């Protein structure tokens, strides 16, 4: 579960005031809103990359408001993947496990397992600049999932992809979510994407979040 309680944040004239939302455990939530309405800021507050002026963040039954990003048990996939420019795919996916000092065998097994699942097992020795947009997002997803986080946060992960790739990756996201049973919060401004993925739909508008009904034909 992800819970935001009265989150307030301000930068210049832009502000988020008293935002509350609950993403039920193991559900796939989609947060929609226009560009510049504060979706990414909200995600960064959940990640711990921005500190709210007031309010609290709970993940599962823990209050993580003051925890550093790395101790929140989250996996984060930013818009452009933000892969580490000098690391090959194998090292990107194994990064979180190396930080946790897991054995080389365990890291290798987990990397292979995720790479197979995400269809990037033939790319393990490539650098990010030799990957296509879709491959980058798959690797970013593998990197985020390697340490088995309880929560997956996705910031417009499909926005830079063409329509066909977008559909493929949406199917992959849904199957990974079902298989790993993580709580996911996915932000987008694309209605079709929301319809494909959302179990729960939120809209951020005018600095307020409200739960919205799922579009017709949603999964």
Partner 1 sequence: MTTSSPRSRVSLFWISLAVITALYLLFILAMLGATAAYTTPHHWLRALGSREIRYSVGLSLATCTATALLSLLLAVPVGYLLSRGRFRGKEALDAALDIPIVLPPMVVGLCLLILFQTPFGRAIERLVPFTYTVAGVVLAQFVIGAAFAVRTMHGTFDHLSSRPEDVAMTLGCSRGRAVWLVTIPAARRGMFAAASIAWARSLGEFGPILVFAGATRMKTEVLPTTVWLELSVGNLEAAVAVSLLMVALAMLVLVAVRLAGERV
Task: Give residues in contact with partner 1 (CB under 8 A).
Answer: 44, 47-49, 68-72, 74-76, 78, 80, 82-87, 95-96, 99-100, 140, 143-144, 147
| β-bridge pairing 28-32 and 183-188 | parallel
CB closer to partner 1, 37 vs 145: 145
CB closer to partner 1, 34 vs 100: 100
CB of 83 to partner 1, least distance (A): 7
Please identify which residue in the block is written with the tokens 């949603």.
218
First to last CA, the chain: 20
CB closer to partner 1, 17 vs 82: 82
CB of 160 to partner 1, least distance (A): 13
Strand partners, 63: 58
CB closer to partner 1, 79 vs 190: 79
Exposure of 46 by Cβ count < 10 A (0-12 exposed, 13-18 middle, 19+ buried)? buried
Strand partners, 28: 184
Give every CB contact of residue 204 below 8 A, 6+ residues apart in sequence.
Answer: 19, 31, 32, 33, 37, 38, 39, 42
CB of 28 to partner 1, least distance (A): 19
Residue 187, φ and ψ in degrees, nearest 5? -105, 145
Residue 129: how many other CB atoms lie within 10 Å: 9
CB of 153 to partner 1, least distance (A): 8
CB of 66 to partner 1, least distance (A): 15
CB closer to partner 1, 137 vs 196: 137
């Amino acid at each position: 579960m992800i819970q935001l309680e009265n989150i307030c944040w301000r930068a210049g004239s832009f502000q988020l005031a008293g935002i509350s939302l609950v993403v039920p455990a193991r559900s796939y939530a989609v947060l929609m809103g226009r560009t510049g309405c504060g979706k990414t800021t909200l995600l960064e507050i959940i990640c711990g990359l921005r500190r709210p002026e007031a309010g609290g963040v709970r993940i599962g039954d823990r209050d993580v408001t003051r925890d550093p990003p790395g101790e929140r048990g989250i996996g984060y996939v930013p818009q452009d993947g933000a892969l580490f420019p000098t690391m090959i795919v194998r090292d990107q996916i194994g990064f979180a496990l190396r930080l946790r000092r897991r054995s080389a065998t365990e890291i290798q097994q987990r990397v292979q397992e995720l790479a197979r699942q995400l269809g990037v097992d033939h790319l393990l020795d490539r650098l990010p600049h030799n990957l296509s947009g879709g491959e980058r997002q798959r690797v970013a997803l593998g990197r985020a999932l390697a340490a088995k986080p309880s929560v997956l946060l996705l910031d417009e992960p499909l926005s830079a992809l063409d329509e066909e790739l977008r559909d493929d990756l949406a199917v992959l996201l849904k199957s990974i979510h079902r298989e790993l049973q993580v709580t996911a919060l996915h932000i987008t401004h694309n209605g079709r994407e929301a319809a494909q993925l959302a179990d729960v739909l939120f809209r951020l508008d005018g600095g307020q979040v409200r739960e919205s009904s799922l579009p017709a034909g949603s999964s």
